[in-house]
């Protein structure tokens, strides 16, 4: 009989659909009756979706570019 622990430890295989049929069936039987596991899987998926969004952020400001340019300039002069 599967427990929350089994859902948690197989979560990557579960969301990537890599589990064998028997394991999948056992996990789904447990999760079907366990609101905690249902919420766990939902928030886990949602977290990954949100984290993918972080990729679109940029932290390189015009000031950072300017200083990078100055730095590389100073490196040519010293060579």
Partner 1 sequence: MWETGFLRKIISTITGGKDSRESALSTSDEKLIETFINENNESAFEEIVSRYVDKIYGLALRITRNPNDAEEVLQDVFLTLAKKIDTFRGEAKFSSWLYRVTVNASYMHLRAERKHETDISLEDYVPYDENGTLMGRVASKDWSERPDKALFSKEAMEMIEKAVKELPESYRVVFHLRDIEGLSNEEVSEILGLSVAAVKSRLHRGRLFLRDKLSDYFYEWSR
Residues at the contact surface with Zn ion, assessed by CB under 5 A = 4, 34, 36-37
Q: How far is CA 2 from CA 24, 41, 55, 56, in A?
A: 10, 15, 36, 38
Binding of residue 6 to partner 1 (CB under 8 A): yes
Closest CB 7 distance from partner 1, rounded Å: 8
Whether 19 contacts 36, CB under 8 Å: no
Residue with tokens 């932290």: 59
Q: Which of 22, 32, 59, 78 binds partner 1 (CB under 8 A)?
A: 59
Q: CB 28: neighbour CB atoms within 10 A?
A: 15
Binding of residue 18 to partner 1 (CB under 8 A): no
Q: What is the binding site for partner 1 (CB under 8 A)?
A: 3-6, 8, 11-12, 34-40, 42-48, 50-55, 57-60, 64-69, 71-73, 75-76, 79
């Amino acid at each position: 009989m599967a427990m929350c622990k089994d859902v948690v430890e197989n979560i990557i295989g579960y969301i990537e659909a890599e589990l064998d049929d028997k394991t999948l069936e056992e996990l789904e039987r447990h999760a079907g009756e366990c609101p905690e596991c249902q919420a766990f899987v939902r928030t886990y998926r949602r977290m990954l979706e949100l984290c993918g969004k972080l990729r679109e952020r940029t932290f390189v400001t015009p000031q950072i570019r300017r200083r990078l340019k100055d730095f590389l300039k100073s490196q040519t002069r010293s060579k």
